Amino acid sequence: MDGGHSVEEQQLSPQGHVSQSGLDVVDDPRSGFVLALVVLLLFGIGIAGAAGYQIVFNEALLSVHAKETQTALSIARAGLRFYIGKQIGVHQDIVTYSINGGDAVVTARLVAEIDDFETLYLLRSEGVYTDPTFTGSAARRTVYQYAVKREVALNHMAAVTQVTGDLYVENNAHMDGDDGANNGACEQSSVTLIGVMMGSGALAVGGSPLRGSPDSVSLGSATAALDSLGIDWDVLTDTDFPVDYEDTWPSCALPADSFTVTRFNGNLTTPGSVCGQGILIVTGNFTGGAGFQWDGILLAGYIVDTPNNYRIDGMVVSGLDGNGTASVHQNGIHFDYDRCNAFQAGKRLSHFKPVGGTWWEEM
């Protein structure tokens, strides 16, 4: 006991709280509010962070989606170009192309038959693309285009066309524009063509070897002759242009009704007999061997003068090399128009031409 107080005397703080050993223990009611405020602020920061993340994530998704849809559109348009450029001959109604990591599914639907030479098609191309770094449904864009299909390789204008160079036809040669096909042998109606059509050169005839209606015409220029026929010699002679047989004759195992495209680069002297029929392209000089026969279309840079007996039943176009070299068709040569052979052969080079101003996208 000291002065009436014990050593363990309890003291009251100024606030009235009990303290031991002179140290105050403050029980402030505001401390709970501060703690709640801190928790609330942390919660707000968390919400803001999550919202920011979601905004950035959504913007990233939108960006990826925009890229996917734009890529899908590019794929769809590329699919149309691929189809128009690659469908030579008998076309496929549905084709899928793998482009830029996606697919273009192209379909062709016949709209109308214009005439024996042309038909109208509606082409539809759907581009499908998925970004490999994101999961989700694929982006799809669909475009359309009208296209005219050239059903045959060239217009039937004459049994024989000399694009450049003068031409002399001897008396016992035979250039005939009268249709030699049997009635009912093919769906095309029988017509009589010009016997010989001249481009830039002059025609001289010995005797009466020409038949047709008329037996001959002169267009005055190579360009007029090519435009009249509707062929592009530069395309047909390009080695990148696909053909069935290159520098070799068709297989003898082919069916009798099979027509092919055969191209020889440079000069060609034919054997007496070969297998096959269709379009025969000779980029250089063509020399027909004795006994040779081809059913279909002969397109030649130049036809060499020869007394050999050979024949082409279909159509013949020569002087395509542009050199303007004069040519002579001698005794024993038969170049006779046959609509069935010419149409069947020409279909092997049928192709699409887009109609200008008809492209649109499905919305």
Same domain for 285 and 139: no
Predicted pLDDT of residue 8: 46
pLDDT at 363: 74
Among 109, 125, 151, residue at a domain's last position: 151
Examine the domain organization and report whether 214 and 341 are in the same domain. Answer: yes
In a domain, 39, yes or no: no
Q: Are 162 and 147 in a shared domain? A: no
64, part of any domain: yes
For 129-167, how does the pLDDT look when each residue is reduced to its tens digit (9 = 90+)?
Answer: 987 766 668 889 999 999 999 888 889 999 999 999 999
The DSSP symbol for 349 reads G
Identify whether residues 85 and 178 lie together within a single domain. no
Per-residue confidence (pLDDT) for residue 9, from 0 to 100: 46
The residue among 124, 151, 178 that closes a domain is: 151
Q: Are residues 165 and 310 in the same domain?
A: yes
Q: Answer with the one of 105, 126, 151 that is the final residue of a domain.
A: 151
pLDDT at 7: 44
> What total number of domains does the chain contain?
2
Mean pLDDT of the chain: 86
Model pLDDT, residue 42: 76
Whether 90 is covered by a domain: the verdict is: yes
CB atoms inside a 10 Å sphere around CB 35: 10
In a domain, 47, yes or no: no
Decide if 35 is inside a domain.
Answer: no
pLDDT digits (tens, 9 = 90+) for 282-327: 999 999 999 999 999 999 999 999 888 999 999 999 999 999 999 9
Q: Are residues 235 and 128 in the same domain?
A: no
Q: pTM of the predicted model, to two decimals?
A: 0.73
pLDDT confidence of 2, banded at 50, 70, 90?
very low
Q: Can you give the pLDDT at residue 58?
A: 57
The whole-angstrom separation of Cα 171 and Cα 205 is 7
Lowest-confidence pick of 156-165, 231-240, 246-255 = 231-240
In a domain, 318, yes or no: yes
Q: Which of 52-61, 93-102, 107-116, 137-146 has the lowest mean pLDDT?
A: 52-61
Same domain, 144 and 284: no
Q: For residue 180, what pLDDT is reported?
A: 92
**Over the stretch 167-191, which tens digit does the pLDDT of each residue have?**
999 988 999 999 999 887 888 888 8
The range of the structural domain enclosing residue 337 comes to: 158-349
Burial of 25 (0-12, 13-18, 19+ CB in 10 A): exposed
Residue 155, both tokens? 């217009």
